[in-house]
């Protein structure tokens, strides 16, 4: 059974509160940092964290917006995402801070960390890898691919992206551009593209947004979960 606790931390004067999901025995384990969608920390990511715990891993659901934005309205959260995306250098520092928060948790094996994110969180996972961070892997679930425009670093992490080919936010030329970028950076990379699948396909409530090209796809969601677990097994045995 999982054990969950709030993890308060401060970044450049902002009060953040992530959620750690682990086992009750307190043993150190490989850990996945889960970076949420534009809606911030929610039950969706915590449920994904519980699934990881059942498989023998820990999860840290990362708060990037701030404790005050937990459960905020959609337009408020979009405003926060826009704020963070407007300064990718500051966003990189924020992500490096979250990585250090994870490393400081007793139950986390500091040299066995994967960073995975959804939508905006997927871009964050890629940006952390782009920084040259010493992480095992960066994983993007229907993430945004545009590069940060910062000095390029060698990417030491394995990179895996799970992408809906019909995602209106990431057209095919952006997928090819990312592949070229990751190749030039020396990364061990994979891009899994699912045909006839749009944005947000891992979220059972994505269709509720009623946005063209944004919809849940159960088969694609299951396929990416199987491939994701295969990656964790490859990394950690």
For every residue of 159-211, which 3-state class applies, written as one string?
EEEEEECCCCCCCHHHHHHHHHHHHHCCCCEEEEEECCCCECCCCCCHHHHCC
pLDDT tens digits for range 2-60? 889 999 999 999 999 999 999 999 899 999 999 999 999 999 999 999 999 999 999 99
pLDDT tens digits for range 117-175? 999 999 999 999 999 999 999 999 999 999 999 999 999 999 999 999 999 999 999 99
Which pLDDT belongs to residue 211?
Answer: 86
Taking the chain, what is the end-to-end CA distance rounded to the nearest angstrom? 22
Rounded CA separation 34/139 (Å): 9
Which pLDDT belongs to residue 210?
Answer: 81
- For the chain, the farthest-separated pair of C-alpha atoms sits apart, in whole angstroms, at 47
Q: 82 in the Ramachandran plot: left (φ > 0), alpha (ψ -120 to 50) or beta? A: alpha
Which pLDDT belongs to residue 102?
Answer: 98
**Domains in the chain: ranges and CATH:** 2-236 (3.40.50.1820)
Enter the tokens of residue 4: 């969950």
Give 137's strand partners.
114, 158
Which pLDDT belongs to residue 1?
Answer: 64
Could you tell me where the beta strands, DSSP code E, fall in the chain?
A: 2-11, 14-23, 29-35, 58-61, 108-118, 137-141, 158-164, 189-194
Enter the tokens of residue 106: 């007793």
Rounded CA separation 30/51 (Å): 14
Which pLDDT belongs to residue 93?
Answer: 98
Mean pLDDT, range 189-207, rounded to an integer: 95
Mean pLDDT, range 97-105, rounded to an integer: 98
* Helices 120-130 & 74-85 angle (0-180, nearest 10): 20
Mean of the per-residue pLDDT values for the chain? 96
At 207, the pLDDT band (50, 70, 90 cuts) reads confident
Rounded CA separation 199/157 (Å): 25
In this prediction the pTM is: 0.96
């Amino acid at each position: 059974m999982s054990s969950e606790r709030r993890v308060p931390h401060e970044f450049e004067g902002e009060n953040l509160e992530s959620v750690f999901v682990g086992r009750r025995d307190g043993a150190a384990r490989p850990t996945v940092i889960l970076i949420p969608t534009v809606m911030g920390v929610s039950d969706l990511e915590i449920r994904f964290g519980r699934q990881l715990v059942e498989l023998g891993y820990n999860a840290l659901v990362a708060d990037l917006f701030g404790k005050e934005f937990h459960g905020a309205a959609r337009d408020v959260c979009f405003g926060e995402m826009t704020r963070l995306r407007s300064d990718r250098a500051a966003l990189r520092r924020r992500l490096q801070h979250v990585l250090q928060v994870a490393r400081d948790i007793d139950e986390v094996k500091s040299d066995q960390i994967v960073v995975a994110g959804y939508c905006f969180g997927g871009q964050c996972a890629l940006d952390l890898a782009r920084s040259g961070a010493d992480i095992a892997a960066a994983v993007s679930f229907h993430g945004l691919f545009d590069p940060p425009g910062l000095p390029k670093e060698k990417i030491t992490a394995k990179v895996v992206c799970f992408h809906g080919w019909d995602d209106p936010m990431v057209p095919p030329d952006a997928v090819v551009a990312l592949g070229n970028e990751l190749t030039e950076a020396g990364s061990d990379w994979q891009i899994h593209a699912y045909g006839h699948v749009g944005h947000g396909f891992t979220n059972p409530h994505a269709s509720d947004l009623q946005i063209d090209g944004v919809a849940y796809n159960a088969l694609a969601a299951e396929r990416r979960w199987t491939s994701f677990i295969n990656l964790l097994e490859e990394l950690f045995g």
